[in-house]
Structure 1
Amino acid sequence: MGIEAWYMDSSDEDQRKPHKLVPNQPVSMDQLGELGVFYSKLNADVYETDPELEQIRKDQGYSHMDIITIHKDTLPNYEEKLKMFFEEHLHLDNEIRYILDGQAYFDIRDKGDRWIRIAISKGDLITLPAGIYHRFTLDETNYTKAMRLFVGEPVWKAYNRPADDFEVREKYVASLTAAHNTKWTPYNQRVE
């Protein structure tokens, strides 16, 4: 079980291409867990009535959700939004996305500031921790439909890098040194 992730090349080619190194350098679920990335695989065909999704929402306190379809025919200012999503940034809260259809990429920074690309597709529920530098893009299919989940009211504010002075960033960086002592289980509940 898991999603596919790898270290990225530094090519300036289209951001929607895979950007794998040659040879490929895969990144494991354990390595993502050490960076605070949570993951679960769900059945997106039944998202409206899925008891597993409801349990995760209840357990994690995800009280608000909405759905966004990212495609040139459905998203106003499509090209501008894609550029904005691909700017390296962080949030003051976790970013939770559940892919209901299509595919996309989240890129995150590792402890050494190298880019890791995470391929997400239908059924993938991913949480990026508050304070992690990341960006988002579609893949070459140019389409995804995602549920956005929030604890409390939705907060859309992104802080472009550099944003190292935020307390949430400092806490995230400090958590990386403790992470190697933590095991991750499905939906990555911490086991100390």
Structure 2
Amino acid sequence: MRLILLGPPGAGKGTQSARLMQRFDIPQLSTGDMLRAAVKAQTPMGLQAQAIMSDGKLVSDEIVVGLIADRVEQPDCAKGFILDGFPRTVAQATALNTILHKKHMDIDAVIELRVDETALLARMEKRVQQTIAAGHPVRSDDNAEAFHSRMEAYREMTAPVSAFYADAGQLHVVDGMANIEEVSASIDAFLKEKIAA
């Protein structure tokens, strides 16, 4: 099962990814983790990325897609994988399609957790209160200002990715405002249909 999870910060992608990883015995591919691993392993892509990052620049789509191209051929991806947080732009989505097509692979499903921004902000504020009450440190980006700038970046860059997959007939939207169990059940029902088809 090859999946892409879309949704703004705080939509619950991490929670659903963890569950899907267990259910299908597939890895979640994080581009950040892949970059760090490639740099550490000193792979050709890693060396390229390291040079760019040490200049304080953003790693190009070409390198990130190249890392994914290498990563999906690892043995743990034989049954599939979950992309969470990638593709972030339509250019990345197009490049991903090209690279997977060359490998005779297809994305089985693109699932978007759609949420209400106002309710999402309230959810984030509640999480901060619970974290403080539990005596744990609060993430530096868990505040209204950071949330709004992350949402703005998401709307500008990543929201068009939803339209890209919708136009291709691949997008399945799930109500991300439902409780975790309901979101999981919606995803399960959709994937069950996919597998049966």
TM-score under structure 2 length normalisation: 0.27
Which structure has the greater CA radius of gyration? 2
Which structure has greater strand proportion? 1
